[in-house]
Structure 1
Amino acid sequence: MYIRRVTRKNKNGTTTSYLQLAHNEWDPKAKYAKAKVIYSFGREDQVDRAVLERLASSISRFLSPEAALQSKETVGEVASFLFQSSKSVGSLWLLDQLWKKLGMEEVIQACFSSRQHEMDIERLLFTMVANRAVSPASKFSLTSWVEEDVYVPGVETVQPHQLYRVMDELLDVRAELEKNVFYAVSDLLNLEVDLLYFDTTSSYFEVSPDEVSEDETFRKQGYSKDKRPDLLQTVIGLAVTREGIPIRVWEWPGNTMDMTVIEQVKQDLIGWKLGRVIQVADRGFSSEKNLRILQQTGGHYIIGERMHAGKKDVEEALSKRGRFQVIRENLHVKEAIVGDGEARKRYVIAYNPDEAARDRMKREQIVASIEAQIDALRQEANEAHHKKACALRAHPTYGKYVRQLKDGTLRLHKQAVRDASKYDGKYLIRTSDDTLSIEDVALGYKQLLEVEDAFRTLKTTLQLRPMYHRLEERIRAHVVISWLALLLVRIAELQTGETWTQIRKEMNRLHVGHFSTKDGDLFQCTEVTQKQRRTFGALGLKPPPNILDLQANS
């Protein structure tokens, strides 16, 4: 049924138009549909427009809000629309759809199912996770962020006290949450979890040590990997799969040493049904005690060894003769077995020609600088040392290449330079698994860079640091939220082949406009670009509909 316009040509050459309410009926004889007039409104120039508006209004009571909106546009009411605001929706929509695809919604709801809450914990937790990934800010800033800047599906407003309450309760279900998230993600993505990479980093707090109470147990000063030893910090551990997906995160007091955490990591992963697990770790975890822990319950390890540690076994492995096998242009490897029987140790020596050239060039620059500084000292035999000579000997880089003669003068230590050249472009790897090829060992250790990339994303893109929380529970919850954001970000990067920075920049261009009329509110998205559509397609997600929401006035 529709309104049609019929025109008639008058004798004086003018035309007159008539409006009719009609519908099509099938004519079996003519074999096509013919228009049947139900009602004639008369001449178009004499029709009372209010009659048509009342008709459209009465019909719209039986239509969906979107269909009613379309019917109002046909009678000219679009002019009454007010453009209230515009919010970014693309990144939030992508993260929300990915969050639900991974089953996170069900996992969170299951973890908190026994708790009675008036607030929607799952939506509040997602809001904090999404904020970390899209525009990291404090919990107090989230209120204005949600209300003014972004469209968060299912969330119209948040209050800081709600977010802090979610953080406080998050740790109560953390163990269950971590395990269920791992199962949901590994099943959906078919992750290979026989090889796990583990490393630690540190993250600091913007607070002076003088401002901390004596009973502080978590925020401590320690070895800072952020080069901020002047600030309090916490130590963070991360385990990722060979694809770079972070499956678990840990936090320890800021003065925790790397070598002391491996036992807890091993125990925490027991019962996760990981099958044969080969843990890959950096040189900071290569103590004999840690290696024994990693081999408990049938586990294995691939771990970096310090070449300058002075260990007898390491020196013997490095002195083994043999040709390097070329795996890749920048990766040559050879195997070295040290000892027999239970004392047998398997090493793999890796060599990177490009890295060797860089090491050699860097050392040549250091040697040239040392020689220039020694010449500038203008030393005399048995002369008392002055500050510049002492500073050169104590220098962390130059000092090892400087020697002092019996008469007190300084000279370049040529033997130290020759010894250092033996290590150019090389690194030493130790493994407990004899079934792995030397290629798998070398490539497995090289993939430890995935953890370093994850830490870099945490600290820069997701702005994990600096942290402003004071309570240990809030600090731990903040790290867990950042881990969940990293999980979504890494999956998006893995499946699209682009960095999260690139994805986020493009998705943030997708906006939703809020329009209001006397009949209700309309939320309409800007057109999805081809690039945005490709990103959604690569992740197996649907872009937001053109009409995101309609809220009719009662």
Structure 2
Amino acid sequence: METIVFENLLTKAKIYVIIFVYDKSDILRYAIWYKNYGGQLMFVKLTTVKSGKKRVEITYIRLLEKYRGKDGKFHERAVANLGRMDIEGRTNITRLLKSLRRFSDEILVTPEEIESKAALEYGQLLVCRKLWNEIGLGEWIRESCGRVAKYSLGESGVLAMVLNRLISPGSELGLCRWLETVYLEEFDNRFRDGDTKRRADRFYSTLDWLIKGKERIEEKVYFWIRTLFPVDVVFYDITNVQFEGKGPAMSRIGYARLGKRNHKQVLLGIIMIEGLPVAHYVFRGNQAEKKTLSWITKEVKKKYNVGRIIFVVDRGMITVTNLEEIAKEDGYIVAIRRRKDEEAKELLESGNDGFIEIKENLFAKEVKIDMSKKNKNKRSKDIKNVVVNDTEIDDKRRVVCLNPEKAKEQKAKRESIMTELEHQLVELKEKADNGKVKNQKVITSSAERILNKKHGKRYFDYKVGEGKFEYWQKKENIDYEEKLDGKFMIKTTEKDLTLKEIVLRYKDLSDIEGCFRDIKDFIEVAPVYHFLNRRVRAHIFVGVLALLVQRYMEKKLDNAKLEISSERVLEKLKAIHVVINQVKHLCLKYVTPPSKELEQILRVFGIPKLPKMLSDISKDTVPGEKRDNLMVENGFR
């Protein structure tokens, strides 16, 4: 419906407030009247009369006044006849209202006079910022980092980097260009235009400012978490961070536990309490495991006054010898190698029955192995080929985890790869059978080239004779791969942890690895000019802060018993935008209304209702005094 609003019309020392509302058929549906200064009521009324010989009905628009007569009763009287209720008459009324706007203190506009400037993402930033403030990170950063350095953006710059890491990690747009697409009050209109390199330099200065307060910030985070979860045991997650190109001075080419080979890396250890990151340590990429673990054990126990540390590691990160060393005083949760460990084959024999739901799309069960049946001379295929005796591992708990969605994806991917590889093998066989390729070395090299792609040797084997080539599927291997679909296995020394706690603690490690798998320059200045040690440490620190906010969000969702992941929440919150409209001299910022589902999510984070319009209304070109009066009179101050 088209609405024409006219308020506070000054005439005859009285203020009339009239709102005309028309529908799509250009019919006046109703008019709203308000009380005027004289204490009387004004309203519009449609009056129909019959005119002429044909008694044609004509409708007139009249402005009436309701007043109290001498008899004490209310009466009506016509104040003005506003014209006929036809298209021409209504056009005249509209023209009259527009001409009278100059006497009004209100900003009166028609839809055509509203210009939409931008629609910026807002929902994700609103929730993440709420959690940021609830934790107290902004205050801790200001207290710990000291005076804001020249060109640094201070706490608001750190907030922007953390939000970017949470909402759009690894974005091709980069941080500076990402800020152009979202509504963050501190950066409103500051990053819409300009030189990306110069803007990025300010974030580099912010990283230098942030890293100075790392130790003090981590202490405050630790004491805050201990007030929520007073425990005597902490978890220590170990992973590695790889770099493209030269990398920083502290990076080294070490054992490729995760990621690509021959890439420079650093080792990263994170202290976790109840799934929340407390502190982290960065080591050289080729640092000896034993030395790292020994130092961490002493440092963490001394600094955080804890009795035990439970190390949560990927199986490729640590040798059996070091696991044995850990188990003497502390504990561990470690993944079992799916293809290289004999234990994995025995665990998979338990089948797909008996799984218990841990969380959305994640199931688990504990499996016991009869170690007396194992050959005591059998060697475990770890990276050191360390002999593991029955007595050393039979007291450990083993868990098999299943992700049904992942299982479907892996099965579909394997079948696609097998179809592709078999097609290439069939072509090679036809060439050999037709005599197009006779040389055995050429046939062998062609077969090797085909099967070296996409782990083809897991699924196929071959034999080459004189001018002959044969291939076949490895049925036993394929059957084993089918059993592996969507599964991973865990071993732990901890007797007191529940099944759910074991799985979720290891899941924490997966989240950390996903967050730090490739630490690239998310400020996006290419080539990277500043790959200094302190900035690498600051980059990692920003990632840890983002992980803290994300895990705290997960805690909120779990406490509210809302079965949805933080990733899905952030995805859904994309629907909430700030729409910036230019209305005459004002820039009005309207918030798109959330759906019922989003309203429920917002309530979980302490946001009961969104405002229809944000209060930080920017001013445009109105002269100072008149502009200020308009702001005050329209309730914007």
TM-score bracket, shorter-length normalisation:
0.5 to 0.7
> Where in structure 2 are the equivalents of 1:361-372 lying within 5 Å?
none
**Aligned-pair CA distance for 1:126:** 0.9
**Aligned-pair CA distance for 1:104:** 0.9
Alignment equivalent of 1:102, drawn from 115, 135, 140: 135
Alignment equivalent of 2:323, drawn from 259, 281, 291: 291
Alignment equivalent of 1:452, drawn from 500, 507, 510: 510
Q: Note the alpha carbon deviations across 1:293-345, whole angstroms, 9 max, x for none.
A: 5346x4211223447768xxx77x9889x989945386451145689999565
**Aligned-pair CA distance for 1:101:** 0.8
Separation of aligned partners in 2, 1:371 and 1:162: 56
In the alignment, what sits opposite 2:567? 500
Alignment equivalent of 1:169, drawn from 191, 209, 216: 209
Q: Note the alpha carbon deviations across 1:357-412, whole angstroms, 9 max, x for none.
A: 989x979x97996998998778xxxx9952433665795656588699999x9999
Alignment equivalent of 1:93, drawn from 122, 126, 130: 126
Separation of aligned partners in 2, 1:471 and 1:116: 18
Separation of aligned partners in 1, 2:607 and 2:588: 20
Q: Does 1:525 align with 2:525?
A: no
Contact (CA 8 Å) 1:336, 1:347: kept in 2 or not?
no
The higher relative CO (CA closer than 8 Å, separation ≥ 6) is in 1
> Where in structure 2 are the equivalents of 1:332-481 lying within 5 Å?
333-336=367-370, 345-350=394-399, 385-389=440-444, 397=455, 424-425=483-484, 429-435=490-496, 439=499, 444-445=502-503, 448-456=506-514, 468=528, 469-481=530-542
**Aligned-pair CA distance for 1:429:** 4.5
In the alignment, what sits opposite 1:10? none
Q: Note the alpha carbon deviations across 1:119-138, whole angstroms, 9 max, x for none.
A: 66212211222233344589
Give the TM-score normalised by structure 1. Answer: 0.63
When residues 267 and 138 of structure 1 are mapped into structure 2, their CA distance, relative to the original with a 3 A threshold, is farther
In the alignment, what sits opposite 1:281? 313
When residues 517 and 284 of structure 1 are mapped into structure 2, their CA distance, relative to the original with a 3 A threshold, is same
**Aligned-pair CA distance for 1:111:** 0.9
In the alignment, what sits opposite 1:301? 332
Separation of aligned partners in 2, 1:260 and 1:342: 27
> Where in structure 2 are the equivalents of 1:231-250 lying within 5 Å?
232-235=263-266, 237=268, 239=270, 245-250=276-281
Q: Note the alpha carbon deviations across 1:199-230, whole angstroms, 9 max, x for none.
A: 4254432x4x6xx8xx9442758738444x57
User: What is the SS of the residue equivalent to 2:593?
Assistant: coil
Alignment equivalent of 1:482, drawn from 531, 543, 565: 543
Give the TM-score normalised by structure 2. Answer: 0.56
Over aligned residues, Cα RMSD in angstroms? 5.8
> Where in structure 2 are the equivalents of 1:78-227 lying within 5 Å?
78-79=108-109, 85-86=117-118, 88=120, 89-113=122-146, 121-135=154-168, 146=179, 148-156=180-188, 157=190, 159-185=199-225, 187=227, 190=229, 194=233, 196=235, 198-205=237-244, 207=245, 216-218=249-251, 220=253, 223=256, 225-227=258-260
Paired letter, 1:165? S
Contact (CA 8 Å) 1:204, 1:234: kept in 2 or not?
yes
User: What is the SS of the residue equivalent to 1:511?
Assistant: strand
Separation of aligned partners in 2, 1:145 and 1:419: 46
Separation of aligned partners in 2, 1:108 and 1:390: 59
User: What is the SS of the residue equivalent to 2:125?
Assistant: helix
Contact (CA 8 Å) 1:130, 1:485: kept in 2 or not?
yes
Separation of aligned partners in 2, 1:267 and 1:503: 39
Contact (CA 8 Å) 1:371, 1:412: kept in 2 or not?
yes
Contact (CA 8 Å) 2:145, 2:209: kept in 1 or not?
no
Paired letter, 1:548? S
When residues 91 and 289 of structure 1 are mapped into structure 2, their CA distance, relative to the original with a 3 A threshold, is same
In the alignment, what sits opposite 1:31? none
Contact (CA 8 Å) 1:374, 1:411: kept in 2 or not?
no
**Aligned-pair CA distance for 1:421:** 6.8
Q: Unaligned 5+ residue runs, structure 1?
A: 8-17, 25-33, 36-42, 46-71
Separation of aligned partners in 1, 2:536 and 2:103: 53
Separation of aligned partners in 2, 1:109 and 1:165: 15
Separation of aligned partners in 1, 2:553 and 2:576: 17
Paired letter, 2:203? L
Contact (CA 8 Å) 2:250, 2:266: kept in 1 or not?
no
**Aligned-pair CA distance for 1:488:** 2.3
Would you say how many aligned residue pairs link Structure 1 and Structure 2?
A: 476
Contact (CA 8 Å) 2:398, 2:492: kept in 1 or not?
no
Separation of aligned partners in 2, 1:308 and 1:534: 44
When residues 291 and 97 of structure 1 are mapped into structure 2, their CA distance, relative to the original with a 3 A threshold, is same
In the alignment, what sits opposite 1:538? 604
**Aligned-pair CA distance for 1:288:** 3.5
Separation of aligned partners in 1, 2:573 and 2:475: 51
User: What is the SS of the residue equivalent to 1:386?
Assistant: helix
In the alignment, what sits opposite 1:40? none
**Aligned-pair CA distance for 1:290:** 2.5
User: What is the SS of the residue equivalent to 2:540?
Assistant: helix
**Aligned-pair CA distance for 1:142:** 5.4
**Aligned-pair CA distance for 1:99:** 0.7
